[in-house]
Structure 1
Amino acid sequence: MAANPFRWWRRRSLRVRLTVVATAVLGVGLAVAAWVFVNVLGRSLIATIDDEVTSRAREIVALSDANRLDGEIVPTKATIVQVIDRNGRITAATPSTDRLVPLLPQGARGTAADSGRPQFLDGRPYGIPAVLRVTVMSADNGVTVLAARSFSEIERALRTTGHVLLLGTPLLLVVLAGASWVIIGRTLSPIGALRRGATEITGSSPSRRLPVPEANDEVHSLAMTLNDMLARLEEAGSRQRALVSDAAHELRSPLASMRLQLEVALSHPDGQDWRETAEGVLEDTLRLSKLAEDLLALARLDEGRTLRHEPVELGRLVTRTASRYGLDADIPAEAVVVIGAEMDLGRVLVNLIDNAVRHAHDKVGVGLWKSGPWAVVTVTDDGPGIPPEDRERVFDRFTRLDTSRSRDDGGTGLGLAIAREVVEAHGGSIALDDAEPGLRATVRLPV
């Protein structure tokens, strides 16, 4: 049950929550400000009265010490004055002031005189219907001077101020809450525009982008980031669609060839060389298997599941891979170790050596050495090479140059694309250049 209010609060809109929080903070701030204002005003008014009664008491003390008091004291600023001798009799006072009963008894007069600070006094027992602010000073010959002034004016002023604040603060809070509602609504309007723009983006309109607000603020940065994300998703979707289309096209040819061979064999079973038919179907099956392996490798690369952080000794991997093709590898005596996935790096070497063996006339060379912080692997052939303008294009998926479009050699057009993506996933690079004659593939990996 205790979690229900919090659940209700979390379900409110951001505009409502921000407005409520802002209003609550403003309310607390206004209440504190009103309390401080009333207290400061009250202290200031009390200090003004204290200064007046203290100044008046000093004047009377000076007159008493000079023996210039004749029993009647001229009133000033509604200040009450009583002059009391050492026997407790009132010897002088302002008009309309009690001349029989002192405002403070003898003990209280002594305490007040010693403290030197004015104090509050209820005037009703003395026939004064108000609270008084009284100060007591001692004069010569045991004379005590009491000066007092009514606190009713200050009480009325503070009461009036409190009523004004009590009525005005809620009205001001309502106005500020309304202003907060409008300002927060306008501040969040770009987010609403982003939401509406996001609902309009569908699979049939992937090139649409979210509206970017003019203000260079956090919402602007959010819109730019989301548009960049949409661009990356669109690019990935385009690549995925192109891969599916190219894969379907590549699969069609071996499947059509297998179907044709089998249909011809079944139509003329007596004159058919079944061994030749089986060899042809097996060749197409191997081509399909190679294509399926390459497609699975690309899918794994696209999902980012390529790297395993384990040490790989490149010298041993290069030697083992080259020996499968009957080649000798030129490797250094010291171990060259990189961090990555041995299976993926082995696929890179296989793809590069496959290409080199396929196009070489007589010679294929494999080398490894260390150059500073890099491990460098080269695969060289003495074949026809690749024109400089096509050396980047061959790394695209399903790309075959005109001289190698024949599928009889088993090429799928994915080997170099897989090699580049694996190498870049390991933080390295791969490039093609002239071997004079032939072509050299150079792989650089961080040791």
Structure 2
Amino acid sequence: MAADAPARLTAPGWWRRRSLRFRLTAAASLVLALALAASAWVLLGVMDRSLTRTIDESAFQRAHQVRADVDAGRLTGELSTPDGTLIQVIDEATGRITHATVGTDRLVPLLNRRERAAAVRADRARFLDGEPYGIPGRLRVLAVSADGGRTVIAARSYEEVSKSLRAAGQVLLLGTPMLLVLLAGASWMIIGGTLRPISALRRGAAEISGTARSRRLPVPEAHDEVRSLATTLNDMLNRLENADKRQRALIADAAHELRSPLASIRLQLEVALGHPERQDWRETAEGVLEDVLRLSRLAEDLLALARLDERGGTPARREPVEMAPLVRRGVERYAEASVPVTCVVGDEDVTVTGDALDLGRVLTNLVDNAVRHAASAVEVELRALDGTAVLTVTDDGPGIPEPDRERVFDRFTRLDTARSRDEGGAGLGLAIVRETVRAHGGTVHLEDAAPGLRAVVRLPLARTCPSAD
């Protein structure tokens, strides 16, 4: 018992290490073997019952014919049965055999008195060993009662049934393994053909490397589950490729944006250190501080985008945010702006679900952009419309051509490439706005304000429970 324990423990591991094709074929073959064995057992049982019923019916029919002859007094000295049924007619008063078929014992009844009475009451055939009566093999024997206190015993040899069952068993014993091998081979081939597309997927995946990002997995022709898997994996590869492209573009653009202020700081410091006696150190410090502030803003924007990407399009918090106070506080920060910024709140009870800090950044980025390009005024408006909170920021500046109104939401996009670093940002403000609004389940777009530009943000209102009367 102790020696068998390691084998039992390692058998599942051995099974798991086999190939999927082998395990499926083995499992299918095992199920087929059990099914064929059960079918053979059922077939032999049905044959046994059917053949036994046939000889029993023949014996019953012959017994009733003899009983009818006994009752009518038509019995002769010798009985003949073309089908080989053995007949004995017994006088119960004397216990003697009065009539019998040729070859049947005329002295000893096949059933004694007690057995004859039980067989008559049971009215069905039973097995009887024929050896004591000089008959090879087993018999199916039954008894029926006739007039005059006589009993008719009919018996049929069971040897024919036994031979038929042995022949059928031999056929099944030889044919079932052959059929099982044939079915196992067919299963091996069919499963191999079914798994061939998966092997193609594995080879295609092995060929994809860091230098071959545009490769895709082969899609099989059959519209089955493997095709769905290949399509899903290709979609995943496409998303990963797009994410990788966005990440590389972000890194390249960020490096480009960082290079300008760093180069400016280096140049100012080198000039100041090279000619310290002719340098206005206050002016140099102000220039360096300006570049440092620009670097700080760029770092904050990049960090905000990284956090949005990390959260996978969901806000940092989900809590009720009252938009009216948030908009008023945001506009108050621009009291000293270069152009007046006004606030119009059409609905006081405007509440959305999300992160107040992120929504405040959305407002700040939109107002900063509007103030930067406005000619004389900026207007911020908040209202509720059709189950959404609508926030608009309007300026009277030059606006943006319609073909470029969607492109400006891309990261590091600036339409005026000739403007100086003092006149614009790094091109991340509107990108942060769109990502944040999408994370809150809303939309943002730009439209013509004639003159100027209007940024429209729509956010779903928070769901509130109806109050009881």
| TM-score above 0.5 | yes
Distance (Å, rounded) in 2 between the aligned partners of 1:143 and 1:406: 132
| Partner in structure 2 of residue 323 of structure 1 | 332
Mean CA deviation greater in 303-312 or 1-10: 1-10
Cα distance between partner residues in 2 of 1:349 and 1:56: 107
Map of 1:443 onto structure 2: 457
Find the counterpart in structure 2 of residue 246 from structure 1: 253
Work out whether residues 319 and 328 of structure 1, in 8 Å CA contact, stay in contact via their aligned partners in 2. no
TM-score (norm 2): 0.93
Give the whole-Å Cα distance in 2 for the aligned partners of 1:335 and 1:420. Answer: 24
User: Corresponding residue for 2:209?
Assistant: 202
Deviates more, 1:298-307 or 1:390-399: 298-307
1:107-146 alpha-carbon deviations (Å, 9 max, x no partner): 1101111111111111111111210011111110111001
The aligned amino acid for 2:321 is V
Contact 1:365 1:381 in 2 (8 A): yes
Q: For residue 222 of structure 2, give the secondary structure of its aligned residue in structure 1.
A: coil
Does residue 264 of structure 1 match 2:271? Answer: yes
Q: Distance in 2 between matches of 1:230 and 1:96?
A: 90
Shift of 1:4: 3.2
Q: Do the aligned partners of 1:330 and 1:366 also contact (CA within 8 Å) in 2?
A: yes
Q: Which residue of 1 aligns with 2:228?
A: 221
Distance apart, 1:201 and its partner CA: 0.6
CA distance in 1, matches of 2:161, 2:148: 35
Question: What residue is the counterpart of 1:354 in the other structure?
Answer: 368
* Equivalent residue, structure 2, for 1:157: 164
- Determine the structure 1 residue equivalent to 2:465: none
Q: TM-score, normalised by structure 1?
A: 0.98
Q: How does 1:35-434 map to 2 (within 5 A)?
A: 35-86=41-92, 87-304=94-311, 306-307=314-315, 308-326=317-335, 327-402=341-416, 405-434=419-448
SS in 1 for 2:79: coil
- Conserved in 1, the CA contact under 8 Å of 2:374 and 2:395? yes
| Aligned AA (1:175) | L
Tell me the CA shift for residue 225 of structure 1: 0.7
Question: Deviation of residue 200 (structure 1)?
Answer: 0.5
Confirm or deny: 8 A CA contact 2:56 2:140 kept in the other structure.
yes
Q: In the alignment, which residue of structure 2 is the partner of 1:28? A: 34
Moved more, 170-179 or 273-282: 170-179
- Stretches (4+) displaced over 4 A: none
SS at match of 2:392: strand
Change (3 A) 1:404 1:371: farther
CA pair 32-405 structure 1, distance change in 2 beyond 3 A: farther
Match for 2:105: what amino acid?
A: D
Q: CA deviation at 1:6?
A: 2.4
2:380/2:394 contact within 8 Å kept: yes
Q: Is the 8 A contact 1:360 1:383 kept in 2?
A: yes
Give aligned-pair identity as a percent.
64
- In structure 2, distance between residues paired with 1:441 and 1:128: 110
Contact 1:89 1:100 survives alignment (8 Å): yes
d(CA) in 2 for partners of 1:364, 1:403: 24
CA distance in 1, matches of 2:19, 2:309: 38
- CA shift in 2, pair 1:3/1:416, >3 Å: farther
Superposed displacement of residue 403, structure 1: 6.9
Aligned partners of 2:148 and 2:342: how far apart in 1? 128
Identify if the C-alpha distance between structure 1 residues 381 and 13 changes in structure 2 by more than 3 Å, giving closer, same or farther: same
Counterpart of 1:69, as a letter, is: L
Shift of 1:3: 4.7
Cα distance in 2 for residues equivalent to 1:439 and 1:91: 127
Shift of 1:421: 1.0
Specify every segment of 5 or more residues in structure 2 that has no aligned partner in the other structure, as ranges. Answer: 1-5, 336-340, 462-469
CA contact (8 A) 1:118 1:134 kept: yes
Cα pair 1:351 1:416 within 8 Å, conserved: yes
